Amino acid sequence: MKRFISAVYLTFALCAAASAQDMRQNSYYSLFADQKANKVGDAVTIIVVESSQASNNAETQTGRTSDLGFNGSITAGSNSTPEAKLGIGSKNDFSGSGSTKTTGLIRTKISATIDSVMSNGNLMIKGSRKIVINGEEQLITIKGIVRGSDIMSDNSVLSYNISEAVITFEGTGIINDSQKPGWLTKFFHWLF
């Protein structure tokens, strides 16, 4: 009977050793803090709030005037010859002005995943969203580098906290095609 009890204890000990938890794996989980995304494959919600404004004004005026004149008269005795006058003049004026103004506003949410963890602890993220409505396709992609401290407790990050961010909005469909000039218009723009 003692051998049987010893065998049961030995079996339990081996099973416990086989399914033991690695304390290092759980060491970064805190009982008092939220679990933030920090490993490859973890999901992050990106709140895209981008606003941009740019304006540029330019004005140029130039002018140039040049005159060349020649007057002469010849008198011989009492007879005088007709006077000869020669005048040359040129004038060149230029006036130009230009103005550019650009305004943009983007607001959306995109889910992304952590693509890689850099040696300094920063996270490389990337994600995309494709929306198709009535044949109109819109593709939104985002990628960049995020610090772990910029990720909020609900695993979201604001787009202006992403360094080297690349945010792309692309659309295809009938409406997008109708906003582009036709081939004949492109040809005339090329000529003129």
Is 87 within a domain? yes
Over the stretch 107-120, which tens digit does the pLDDT of each residue have?
888 889 989 998 88
Reply yes or no on whether the pLDDT at 124 is more than 90.
yes
Q: Look over the chain and give the mean of its residue pLDDT values, rounded to a whole number.
A: 76
Q: Which of 69-83, 85-99, 109-123 has the highest average model confidence (pLDDT)?
A: 109-123
- What is the pLDDT averaged over residues 93-118? 81
Question: What residue numbers bound the domain in which 92 lies?
Answer: 57-100
Residue 86 forms part of a structural domain:
yes
- Residues 142-163 have a mean pLDDT of 88
Query: Would you say residue 84 has pLDDT above 80?
Result: no
Most distant pair of Cα atoms in the chain: their distance = 163
Q: Which amino acid is at 66?
A: S
Total domains in the fold of the chain: 1
Structural domain includes residue 8: no
Torsion angle of C-alpha atoms 156, 31, 23, 5, degrees rounded to 10: -130
Percent over 90 (pLDDT), the chain = 6
| H helix or E strand, kind and range, residue 178 | helix 174-178
